[in-house]
Amino acid sequence: MYLKLLHIKNFRVFKNFTLSLNKGINIIIGENNSGKTAIIDALRICLGYGKPDTNIYVHESDLHLNPNDPNEHNTEILFDLIFEIEDDIEKECFFDFISLDPDNEKQTIQFHLKYSLVKSGKRTFFKRIVWGGDNEGQQIPYEALQEVFYTYLGPLRDAVSGLKPYSQNNQTAQLFNKLTKYKKGEQIVNLTEEKKNTITESLFGIFESPEYDWTYILNEGKNKVNEHLEGTGILKKIPQIEMNYVGRKYSDIVRGIEIRRPVFDIIQNASQQKYFEIYQNGLGENNLIFSSVVLGDLLNRCEDPELEIYNALLLEEPEAHLHPQYQNTFFEYLNTLTDKGLQVFITSHSPTITAKSNIENVKVLQKQNNSIKVFCFNHLTKDDYSDDNRNYLRKFLDTTKSQMFFGNGAILVEGISEAILLPILSRKFLMPDKIDLEKNGIEIVNIGGVAFEHFAKLYNNDDENKRLFSKCAIITDSDPTENKPISDRAENAKKLKKNNLEVTLANNTFEHDLFEASEINKTIMRDVYRSMHPKTEILKEDFTADQLKMKLENFKDKAEFALQLNERLNQEQNFDVPDYIKKAILFSLS
């Protein structure tokens, strides 16, 4: 079974929020404070219910506060989890959780938790109600709750503490405690409780055997203590003590397992090898080791048919302390875990991880005007978003382009010139109000061409649940000819304008329209071009916008011209911004 739907009501940033989920990996992305951690914590609260080692609880401060209505006071938090059933064993185990959907007569497993704030005298506390299926109050057996297990890896992992022998949160010991088998040569040995007791007794037999000196060392220490007790005590009241080696259980032994990294690669003799202690490693490497130990424990559970039916991995910010290449390899490995029957929930700020993800697994949280909505690619039908659209987007999304999903808005442009110059035009010369696009969270995306349709369909769907919440503007050229003021391609771009998508056209091209905007612009742009090509013949006259356009296209140095113009504009106080650019910028901010 797998979690298909999560509904959250009045919990932190969410007033009433529903998130559909995939069977395998779910990538939850979005800007800061858009609810990513709240989703993970909601899952921890629900999946951890009935477990003795849960360490997350609902507090009064978790109640949703409506930023638009200070008079709204919520007193109830509700979580609903709906699981898809995949086999009859799940039906049998979770019989008390089964619900029948009247629309399609399909059974699901449902789990509900409601926390109601109660005031009794001076005390304020949450009253918790838990039920399965459709009817509030329907009892659920404790045994069924033990069939659900999750592992949580937080964003600020204390890897050193979690890997240190005998530490309270010793993940290494947990890994070995959950081992159910091991390989001895070619033989697979089942690690039952009886086997654990047998090998533990054989180990401690060494400490008790006269053949070895450990028993004599222990007696010597004990005698020293008793000698002093006898000398300092009162006759007939002298305490006599006994000593023994502690840790006489399998679980005690594995608590002392130490992880170290060898220094030398070429040394074969173990006695000559030296080691780095865990605390001597970098944060990134320790996080990888820590994560691998935890995942090893989780895979033990997935592979053992006698353990839990449902297993989940909740992972926040896997990119923490990892450089982009490590992010790639770590994420690719996580993808393989779904073959083990594991459902994975990942929150991330990383464009690298987003770019490497299957877009069908991505859930984009967007916050606009204190409201949070989710955009899921897998909600888009073939009519909404064709296979051609999906394939193009998959190929296109690199670590820069995927940042559009984290922004408050986006501006799509044809090429590098617009991408270079738009920020300074907006920040320094936009009238009447100058706008810093970066400060406002507006992402400029250079799509390297005119294939705008693949991106437009993410913003212009008539169904608000099937479009990105933020606004997007397309800036493109009209590319007029002698016969037509606007090219067919530009006409098709104009037709994309709808809902959260604006399309603005230059009268001609980007550089042409910049040049024609004012006499000041002409002077500055002529100077920049002359500095690039001091021997060009058009230096002898005040060349036109058409001549500049032709020269830039012939020399293929539009990018260099944009860079040089950007440098020049840093020194200028006046430069005019064409209206079509201003319109696009203001729409992306709306």
pLDDT digits (tens, 9 = 90+) for 64-84: 999 889 999 999 999 999 999
Q: Is residue 376 part of a domain?
A: no
pLDDT at res. 289: 74
* Nearest alpha-carbon partner for 282 in 321, 316, 317, 329: 321
Q: Is 344 within 8 Å of 337 (Cβ atoms)?
A: yes
Q: Distances from the Cα of 551 to the Cαs of 419, 546, 548, 554, 565, in angstroms?
A: 20, 9, 5, 5, 15
Q: Is 425 within 8 Å of 572 (Cβ atoms)?
A: no
Shared domain for 7 and 90, answered yes or no, is: yes
Going 360 to 361 to 362 to 365, the CA torsion angle's sign is positive
Which amino acid would we find at residue 54?
T
pLDDT at res. 157: 63
Half-sphere exposure of 271 (CA within 13 A, CB side): 0
Q: Which two tokens stand for residue 411?
A: 């501006």
* Opening angle at CA 457, ends 453 and 458, nearest 5: 125
Shared domain for 417 and 357, answered yes or no, is: no
pLDDT at res. 233: 61
How far apart CA 523 and CA 571 sit, in angstroms, is 14
Shared domain for 216 and 320, answered yes or no, is: no
125 vs 270, residue with greater confidence:
125
How far apart CA 340 and CA 331 sit, in angstroms, is 16
How far apart CA 137 and CA 139 sit, in angstroms, is 6
Q: Is residue 369 part of a domain?
A: no
Worst-scoring range by mean pLDDT, 82-91, 172-181, 570-579? 172-181
| Statement: residue 555 has pLDDT above 90 | no
How far apart CA 557 and CA 563 sit, in angstroms, is 10
Final residue of a structural domain among 242, 257, 272: 257
How far apart CA 379 and CA 97 sit, in angstroms, is 26
pLDDT at res. 540: 64
Worst-scoring range by mean pLDDT, 183-187, 265-269, 549-553? 265-269
Q: Is residue 370 part of a domain?
A: no
Q: Is 117 within 8 Å of 90 (Cβ atoms)?
A: no
How far apart CA 574 and CA 472 sit, in angstroms, is 28
Specify the CATH number for the domain of residue 334. Answer: 3.40.50.300
Final residue of a structural domain among 238, 257, 276: 257
- Summarize the confidence of residues 36-52 as an average pLDDT: 94
Which amino acid would we find at residue 422?
L
Q: Which two tokens stand for residue 125?
A: 């506390």
pLDDT at res. 98: 94
Q: Distances from the Cα of 10 to the Cαs of 33, 110, 157, 253, in angstroms?
A: 15, 19, 28, 46
| Statement: residue 488 has pLDDT above 90 | yes
**544 sits in which H/E element:** none
pLDDT at res. 335: 78
- Summarize the confidence of residues 218-229 as an average pLDDT: 87
How far apart CA 478 and CA 480 sit, in angstroms, is 6
| Statement: residue 538 has pLDDT above 70 | no
Q: Is residue 555 part of a domain?
A: yes
Shared domain for 340 and 219, answered yes or no, is: no
Name the one residue in this structure whose structure tokens are 């989780």: 298
Q: Which two tokens stand for residue 439?
A: 């400060």
> Which range of residues forms the domain containing residue 39?
2-162+285-363
How far apart CA 525 and CA 509 sit, in angstroms, is 15
Shared domain for 248 and 349, answered yes or no, is: no
**587 sits in which H/E element:** helix 579-589
pLDDT at res. 156: 61
| Interhelix angle 558-569/519-532, nearest 10 degrees | 120
pLDDT digits (tens, 9 = 90+) for 282-324: 776 777 777 777 777 777 777 776 677 899 999 998 887 677 7
Final residue of a structural domain among 328, 363, 398: 363
- Which of 109-113, 347-351, 364-368 is most confident? 109-113
pLDDT at res. 36: 95
Q: Is 437 exposed, middle or buried (0-12, 13-18, 19+ CB in 10 A)?
A: buried
Shared domain for 536 and 442, answered yes or no, is: yes
- Summarize the confidence of residues 544-566 as an average pLDDT: 91
Shared domain for 355 and 418, answered yes or no, is: no
What's the whole-number average pLDDT of the chain?
88
Which amino acid would we find at residue 566?
N
Q: Is residue 516 part of a domain?
A: yes
Assign 400 a pLDDT band (cuts: 50, 70, 90).
Answer: confident
Q: Is residue 408 part of a domain?
A: yes
* Nearest alpha-carbon partner for 475 in 522, 511, 521: 511
Alpha-helical segments (H) within 462-578 = 488-494, 510-516, 519-532, 545-555, 558-569
Q: Is residue 263 part of a domain?
A: no
Intra-chain end-to-end CA distance of the chain, in Å: 42
Which amino acid would we find at residue 478?
S
Q: Is 335 within 8 Å of 176 (Cβ atoms)?
A: no
| Statement: residue 235 has pLDDT above 70 | no
* Cis bond before residue 432 (omega within 30° of 0): yes
Domains in the chain, number: 3
pLDDT at res. 121: 86
Beta strand residue intervals within 179-303, DSSP E: 181-184, 187-190, 261-262, 275-276
For residue 336, the SS3 value is: helix
Shared domain for 86 and 189, answered yes or no, is: no
Shared domain for 73 and 24, answered yes or no, is: yes
- Summarize the confidence of residues 336-341 as an average pLDDT: 78
Shared domain for 460 and 552, answered yes or no, is: yes
Shared domain for 333 and 393, answered yes or no, is: no
Other Cβ atoms closer than 10 A to 94: 26
Q: Is residue 100 part of a domain?
A: yes
Shared domain for 20 and 151, answered yes or no, is: yes
